[in-house]
């Protein structure tokens, strides 16, 4: 066992750790026999937390994803289900299964796009967002309700354990969870980590006051609020001060709310280095690497991303287009390999963005392709082995 895993277990030996995130640590994928199996989940949150969950045996509370229902019959009584993935990883998963319409309101109206767009400064404020009665309904009957279901499941898991609960809730989907859990478990240690940027207090005012106040009240029930950067920490504290009228200490990075001191800290999240190295040395990655070497030119520009509006994919293609126009000596010698995964296709803005990404690549390829050389190799797939081969 690596030193970091030993340290983590020793550090948390007196606690009952519970991870809560919208996304589970596993996904379903068809195997060659055409039956369902579990594979390691994709995405930055899962990548960042998998090591912690496995090292400590933490229960992972997550939403049921489409297609999981048949597999979930293996569980019983709402108790955690031990899930083993095809790469040998093992996770204890406790499922939250809201009604489909409720989940749609929570996820596809409030979390994405409303909160995601606010936190990435993506709204064109001259025209959007338009917040009406349907938005209010999505908040009260979707976002608020799913957060309540998560909190109830977390409390159940905490009461199954004999040690002090350590609740590690995550991201913009679950901003109300810390307050809801605190009401039932006043002695729990609660840390909420926000994986995306925290915007300025002024930009939060895009939201109705009742939404932003409920978000802040929810988060400030935690003992520690974790963010990615110094700017995020500062923006959060200024939001407490300017939008909530709370006393804060920018030097000590603390906010004071309801007689409690809340720490606000920067914790840039890392990948699981050991897992990445193990994957890079695997036969599957080596096979993919040999295949890539057969077609790659002298220089390779490479990116692996979700097709998200915040990723600047189209602008990256346009910059590459300008390079090819300004430096024809690089024709046939360079390729932009983009391995992209479609995401949030229930949201109209994401469907349109995916269309524009594909169209931009086609235009550039149509302008510069020669012989068997295409300047952009666009692959719409989620293939971890191939992605790692590209990095190598």
Tell me whether residue 342 is in a domain. yes
Mean local confidence (pLDDT), 84-95: 82
**Residue 74 scores a pLDDT above 70:** no
Q: Tens of pLDDT along 356-385?
A: 999 999 999 999 999 999 999 999 998 889
Statement to judge: residues 250 and 285 lie in one domain? no
d(C-alpha 94, C-alpha 106), whole Å: 19
Statement to judge: residues 187 and 237 lie in one domain? yes
Backbone conformation region of residue 382, classed left if phi is above 0, alpha if psi is from -120 to 50, else beta: beta
Q: Quote the tokens at residue 103.
A: 């989940």
Statement to judge: residues 287 and 266 lie in one domain? no
Statement to judge: residues 161 and 298 lie in one domain? no
d(C-alpha 385, C-alpha 335), whole Å: 20
Statement to judge: residues 201 and 82 lie in one domain? yes
d(C-alpha 392, C-alpha 386), whole Å: 10
1-15, 153-167, 298-312: least confidently modelled range: 1-15
Q: How many domains does the chain have?
A: 2
Q: Tens of pLDDT along 221-233?
A: 999 999 999 999 9
Statement to judge: residues 231 and 367 lie in one domain? no
**Residue 171 scores a pLDDT above 70:** yes
Tell me whether residue 315 is in a domain. yes
Show which of 239, 271, 303 is a domain's final residue: 271
Statement to judge: residues 324 and 288 lie in one domain? yes
Show which of 271, 292, 327 is a domain's final residue: 271
Tell me whether residue 370 is in a domain. yes
Tell me whether residue 276 is in a domain. no
Integer angstrom CA distances of residue 156 from 70, 84, 104, 153, 325 = 23, 23, 24, 5, 61
**Residue 34 scores a pLDDT above 60:** no
Statement to judge: residues 203 and 341 lie in one domain? no
**Residue 25 scores a pLDDT above 90:** no
Q: Tens of pLDDT along 246-295?
A: 999 999 999 999 999 999 999 988 777 887 898 899 999 999 999 999 99
Q: Tens of pLDDT along 91-114?
A: 889 999 999 999 999 999 999 999
Residue 72 contacts residue 93 (beta carbons within 8 Å): no
Statement to judge: residues 317 and 222 lie in one domain? no
Show which of 243, 271, 299 is a domain's final residue: 271
Q: Tens of pLDDT along 188-211?
A: 999 999 999 999 999 999 999 999
Q: pTM for the whole thing?
A: 0.87
CA atoms within 13 A on the CB side of 6: 3
Tell me whether residue 265 is in a domain. yes
* Cβ within 8 Å of residue 105, ≥6 positions away: 137, 138, 141, 142, 143
What's phi and psi for 278, nearest 5 deg? -65, -45
Statement to judge: residues 236 and 166 lie in one domain? yes
- What is the predicted pLDDT for the residue at 30? 59
Tell me whether residue 143 is in a domain. yes
Statement to judge: residues 194 and 336 lie in one domain? no
Tell me whether residue 295 is in a domain. yes
d(C-alpha 178, C-alpha 287), whole Å: 45
User: What does pLDDT average to over the chain?
Assistant: 91
- What is the predicted pLDDT for the residue at 69? 54
Tell me whether residue 350 is in a domain. yes
Structural domain that includes position 313: 281-391
Looking up residue 63, the CATH number of its domain turns out to be 3.40.50.2000
Statement to judge: residues 334 and 236 lie in one domain? no
**Residue 117 scores a pLDDT above 70:** yes
């Amino acid at each position: 066992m690596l030193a970091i895993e030993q340290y983590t277990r020793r550090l948390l030996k007196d606690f009952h750790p519970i991870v809560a995130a919208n996304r589970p640590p596993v996904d379903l994928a068809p195997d060659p026999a055409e039956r369902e199996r579990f594979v390691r989940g994709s995405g930055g949150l899962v990548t960042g937390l998998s090591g912690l969950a496995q090292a400590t045996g933490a229960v992972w509370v997550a939403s049921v994803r489409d297609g999981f229902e048949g597999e979930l019959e293996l569980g019983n009584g709402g108790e955690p289900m031990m899930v083993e993935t095809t790469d040998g990883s093992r996770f204890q998963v406790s499922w939250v299964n809201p009604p489909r319409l409720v989940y749609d309101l929570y996820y596809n109206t409030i979390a994405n796009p409303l909160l995601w767009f606010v936190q990435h400064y993506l709204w064109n404020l001259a025209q959007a967002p338009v917040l009406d009665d349907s938005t209010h309904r999505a908040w009260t009957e979707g976002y608020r309700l799913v957060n309540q279901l998560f909190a109830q499941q977390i409390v159940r898991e905490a009461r199954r354990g004999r040690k002090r609960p350590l609740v590690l809730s995550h991201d913009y989907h679950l901003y109300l969870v810390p307050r809801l859990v605190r009401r039932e478990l006043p002695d729990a240690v609660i840390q909420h980590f926000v994986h995306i940027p925290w915007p300025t207090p002024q930009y939060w005012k895009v939201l109705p006051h009742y939404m932003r106040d409920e978000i802040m009240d929810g988060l400030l029930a935690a003992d520690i609020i974790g963010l990615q950067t110094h700017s995020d920490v500062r923006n959060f504290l200024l939001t407490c001060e300017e939008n909530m009228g709370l006393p804060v200490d920018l030097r000590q990075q603390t906010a004071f709310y309801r007689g409690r001191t809340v720490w606000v800290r920067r914790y840039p999240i890392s990948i699981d280095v050991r897992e990445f190295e193990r994957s890079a040395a695997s036969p599957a990655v080596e096979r993919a690497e040999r295949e890539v070497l057969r077609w790659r030119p002298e220089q390779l520009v490479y990116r692996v991303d979700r097709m998200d509006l915040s990723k600047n994919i189209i602008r990256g293609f346009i910059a590459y287009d300008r390079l090819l126009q300004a430096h024809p000596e690089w024709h046939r010698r360079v390729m932009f390999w983009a391995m992209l995964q479609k995401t949030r296709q229930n949201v109209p803005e994401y469907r349109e963005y995916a269309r524009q990404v594909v169209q931009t690549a086609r235009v550039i390829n149509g302008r510069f392709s020669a012989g068997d050389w295409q300047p952009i190799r666009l692959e719409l797939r989620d293939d971890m082995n191939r992605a790692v081969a590209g990095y190598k």
